[in-house]
Amino acid sequence: MSHWAFVTAAYSVAAVATVCLLAWAYSTMRKAEAAADELKNRR
Amino acid sequence: MHRFANPARFLKIARPATTWLFVLGLLLTGVGLFGGLTLTPPDYLQGETVRIMYVHVPSAWLGMAGWAGIAAASVAQLVWRHPLAAVAGRALAPAGATFAGICLLTGSIWGRPTWGTWWEWDGRLTSMLILFFLYLGYIALAGAEKERGGEGRIAALFGLVGAVNLPVIHYSVLWWRTLHQGQSIGTSGSSIDSSILWPLPLAALGFSCLFGAAVLMRMRAELAESKVEARLRRAAAE
């Protein structure tokens, strides 16, 4: 098996996991901050 | 540190810092990985697979740094009852677990062409796997404690006890016979040739910024959730 196949697999794992972490952290932050703002504006 | 005990003051700094860390992280990681993939020569022994180093090593450092952060937050929680300590601990855990997982997977992928095996139960690999499981345990424990309205003291104790694993990971290559190579980057310098080494600090700094951005985002989410819960509780009481 070519060395590049292992390099590609390792970089893909790192990229996918990092993007998933950031996307999850961002979406939970946006959702929570939007809920807090909405509650604040309602009062 | 106590200057940031006020969540409002913390958020004033955290909001712009999140964006800056994210942008800087993307830039540095992009440059580091591009350099590592295209501008460095292959290793005379490992060939092209040496390029896995630029994702594997930063993820190993961040996997360990994440737990060191949890241990520091645990001390702040247990000794000073810092109001943001438990929030920081809970925010650090998913990011640390992700990078510990990346380290294990990329290490396994690197091990196959280099050692001829995907996995070996030796000191370094096993202690890193234990760190990954510690993260999962911490996430479950801290989440359950928060749900029950606890202050996070049990999770903080777990965070401190789990820190015992950090020196085990670091010194495992010296204490036991292992397939994993010994320490090649230390305070006195590096045994890696500079033509191969230079993208590593860029990638490590870039991944660290992304790690920091993810932690700040989770802290902001936790603080906003607490604010919503407090407001709803107050509204129900009125």
ipTM of the modeled complex: 0.94
For chain B, the average pLDDT equals 92
Nearest chain B residue to A9 by CA distance is: B109
Q: How far is A30 from chain B (nearest CA, A)?
A: 7
Interchain pair B217, A33: CB under 8 A? no
pLDDT at A43: 63
**DSSP label at A2?**
-
Judge whether residue B152 has pLDDT over 90. no
Residue A28: list chain B partners with CB under 8 A: 217-218, 221
pLDDT band at B230 (very low <50, low <70, confident <90, very high): confident
Q: Tell me: the pLDDT tens digits for B191-229?
A: 788 888 999 999 999 999 999 999 999 999 999 999 898
Nearest to A14 among B49, B59, B228 (CB): B59
Q: How far is B147 from B143, CA to CA, in rounded Å?
A: 6
Whole-prediction pTM value?
0.93
Contact A18/B at CB under 8 A: yes
- Of A13, A20, A33, nearest to B106 by CB-CB distance is A13
Per-residue pLDDT reduced to its tens digit, B109-133: 999 999 999 999 989 999 999 999 9
Report residue B175's pLDDT band, with 50, 70 and 90 as the boundaries.
Answer: confident
Q: Which residues of B touch A1 (CB under 8 A)?
A: 113
**Cβ contact, residue pair A22, B214, below 8 Å:** yes
> Is the confidence at residue B4, as pLDDT, over 70?
no
The shortest C-alpha distance from B224 to chain A (Å) reads 5
Task: Tell if the CB–CB gap between A36 and B221 is shorter than 8 Å.
Answer: no
Mean pLDDT of chain A: 93
Burial B148-163 (b: 16+ CB within 10 A, else e): eeeebeebbebbbebb
Higher-confidence residue: B194 or B78? B78
The answer to whether residue B101 scores a pLDDT higher than 90 is yes
CB-based contact A21 B95, cutoff 8 Å:
yes
- B112 in contact with chain A, both atoms CB, cutoff 8 A: yes
